[in-house]
Amino acid sequence: MIEKNVVTVFLEHGGKILKVRRSSKVGTYQGKWAGVSGYIEENEEPYQTALKEISEEVGLTAKDVKLIKTGRVLLVPDEENGILWKVHPFLFKSTTREIKIDWEHGEYKWIEPGEIIRYETVPMLKETLENVMK
């Protein structure tokens, strides 16, 4: 399996968590619900990647968000694609619910954290969320 380091960012506002639905234009998990996510580039810290992905995917700047928690790295095997995802989870508080999704996502919703199980998500999204909500 190929190892790939990624961030998964959960944005919280007023007790609700943002989830985004992956578009048909992305390489993996099209149509699945996820957090804001992206590959960690070489020579890039996970926190830097998290802020970059927040800006690119939902149009918020570092001034719009505040880091609440960094979770422990989760190993998420994907046998079908031959990838071992090393997920670096983050929870940020957002100053607003007004976001602008980019081409990577088709829609978004703000939900209660416990509602995540009702949606078809990327692998282990519930566990990733629980990791930063404890």
Neighbour-count burial of 8, counting CB atoms closer than 10 A to its CB (0-12 exposed, 13-18 middle, 19+ buried): buried
Domains of the chain: 2-133 (3.90.79.10)
- 19-78 pLDDT per residue, tens: 999 999 998 999 999 999 999 999 999 999 999 999 999 999 999 999 999 999 999 999
Instruction: Please identify which residue in the block is written with the tokens 């992956």.
Output: 22
Instruction: Give SS3 for 122.
Output: coil
Instruction: Give SS3 for 61.
Output: coil
Whether residue 134 has pLDDT greater than 90 = no
- 56: tokens are 């690119």
d(CA 8, CA 22): 13
d(CA 131, CA 90): 9
